[in-house]
Amino acid sequence: MIPQRVATKFFMRPDPTARFDLHPFIGLFHRFIQEQRVPGLLIDVADYSHVPDGPGVLLVGDEIDYGMDLADGRAGLFTTRKRYADLSLGEVVRDTLQRSLVALAAIEADGATGVRFATNTVEVTFVDRLATPNTEEAFLAVRAEVEPVMEKLYGAAREIRRIHHDDARRTLGLVASTAETISATALAERLA
């Protein structure tokens, strides 16, 4: 059971529902391409800020996309991993999380956007309904492969739960969280 795409989302803090200006992300993401500041072969920037609760501003790559996502009215960095050949699901999730955390640290360090992220909670979605339908059986199978990664990320004091369990039309997803506050850089190093 390996989906074609795996996505993670770390939410803005202190309030992911607060409105903010997406325009600075256009220039920031262009600099990320020029300076190769985040992992992956980066290709272009797309501005979807006009779409309510949409993808916001997207940094498109060959095997990974990064975006300031506004879906469900909650802003955050949405990272989608694609093209990962023969990796196990656990390894794909680990790699996606690590790349996302590097991007979080780069966004915060740049300072151009003024955005900060909560790193103690992450949503992971499996964007392939055929390989990973939104069922309890698929969730249990995915959880078994993802749990060791989440333990590495957040330690023993973590919680993992299924999201969107009441709507089979939504993609299968889970949220992992911990009470501990840890920097994005420190979390990325845990997954290295």
pLDDT attached to residue 85: 80
Contacts of 137 (CB under 8 A, 6+ apart): none
Domain limits at 159? 5-191
CB 79 within 8 A of CB 103: yes
pLDDT attached to residue 2: 80
3-state secondary structure of 81: strand
The distance between the two most distant Cα atoms of the chain, rounded to a whole number of Å, is 43
Token pair 């909560």 is found at 118
Residue 176 C-alpha from the chain's centroid: 12
* CA 74/CA 76 separation, integer angstroms: 7
Instruction: Kindly state the average pLDDT of the residues 105-121.
Output: 96
Enter the tokens of residue 62. 């060959």
Enter the tokens of residue 22. 């997406």
Render pLDDT for 9-67 as a digit per residue (tens, 0 to 9): 999 999 999 888 999 999 999 999 999 999 999 999 999 999 988 999 999 999 999 99
- Spell out the SS3 assignment of 10-65: EEEECCCCCCCCCHHHHHHHHHHHHHCCCCCCEEEEEEECCCCCCCEEEEEECCEE
Q: Confidence band (pLDDT; 50, 70, 90) for 3? A: confident
Please state whether the predicted TM-score (pTM) of the whole model is above 0.75: yes
* CA 148/CA 155 separation, integer angstroms: 9
Instruction: Kindly state the average pLDDT of the residues 155-163.
Output: 93
Q: Confidence band (pLDDT; 50, 70, 90) for 169? A: very high
Domain count, the chain: 1
Render pLDDT for 74-112 as a digit per residue (tens, 0 to 9): 999 999 999 888 899 999 999 999 999 999 999 999 999
